[in-house]
Amino acid sequence: MKKPMPGHVATFAVALLLALGAMGCAQLDPWIPHSWIPRMGAAPPPETVESTAEPIEAAVYERAQAERNEYFEREVERLRADLAQAEASIVALESGLRAPHSRADAVSAVAEARIALDRVAKRVPWRSQRVAEAYEKLAEADRQLGSNHIGAAIFFASRAERITEALRLEARQVAVWEERRVIRAARVNLRSGPSRDSDIVEVLDRDTPVYLERTLSKWLLVRTPDGRVGWVHASLIARR
């Protein structure tokens, strides 16, 4: 007869799986058709830009959409990996199996994940919230390790490691931009046209890198690392 999981372990496992599933649906549905992805927060089509500006080349939007596809694909893979690991952990618990990991394995996993995150965090100052999220996972891994929950500690260390890898790939992408600029003010509006009256596409934080596509008077058409396109006043951008 199969031995049931302890109450607190079962509750934690089910809650973890439900939370991961909800996160995947709310933040990024893995089954969204690729044809929809560029529309999720993408810049408006060229015809919506103010008539005072020259038409924006379709190639600009194609490049932005390609980068946005890559961004969402990375997020999809990360969420799928989180969910798959959570499901595997629950199956192992319900089957009465014991995790093959030792405490030394868990300590090593947490330490290695922290070292990798410390290195990447310096390269992506514009992703402070994502970096903080990864550190929160490591803090939870430490708490689980302190309670001698080896499998849970490794799970949270793995989640932090996957966030770190996504950030590393974004930093590598930005590093090869030839026309790179950086946001110099605390909060800067990315607008749909070269005017302060244009709609706000997104609000960019300080140190966010942007790719310069073209210049129009005192306005710059830029592309963000996650594939948004819009205009920013030249006074709010610096060379990097």
Domain span including residue 200:
180-239
- 160/103 same-domain check: yes
- 170/195 same-domain check: no
- 71/169 same-domain check: yes
Model pLDDT for residues 184-198, shown as the tens digit of each residue = 998 999 999 999 999
- 116/14 same-domain check: yes
Which residue has tokens 């596509």? 213
- 186/115 same-domain check: no
Model pLDDT for residues 114-157, shown as the tens digit of each residue = 999 999 999 999 999 999 999 999 999 999 999 999 988 999 99
- 95/167 same-domain check: yes
- 106/210 same-domain check: no
- 50/128 same-domain check: yes
- Whether pTM > 0.75 for this model: the answer is no
What are the backbone dihedrals phi and psi of residue 95, each rounded to the nearest 5 degrees, phi first? -85, 0
Domain boundary among 148, 175, 202: 175
Number of domains forming the structure of the chain:
2
For residue 1, being part of any structural domain is answered with no
- 146/211 same-domain check: no
- 65/170 same-domain check: yes
| Residue with the larger pLDDT of the pair 86 and 209 | 209
Task: State yes or no: pLDDT of 53 exceeds 80.
Answer: no
Burial (Cβ within 10 Å: 0-12, 13-18, ≥19) of residue 227: buried
Residue pair 135/160 in contact by the 8 Å Cβ criterion? yes
- 111/198 same-domain check: no
- Distances in Å between the alpha carbon of 184 and those of 45, 90, 214? 27, 46, 18
Model pLDDT for residues 55-105, shown as the tens digit of each residue = 667 777 777 777 777 877 888 888 788 777 777 766 665 555 555 778 999
- 158/190 same-domain check: no
State the CATH number of the domain containing residue 226. 2.30.30.40
For residue 230, being part of any structural domain is answered with yes
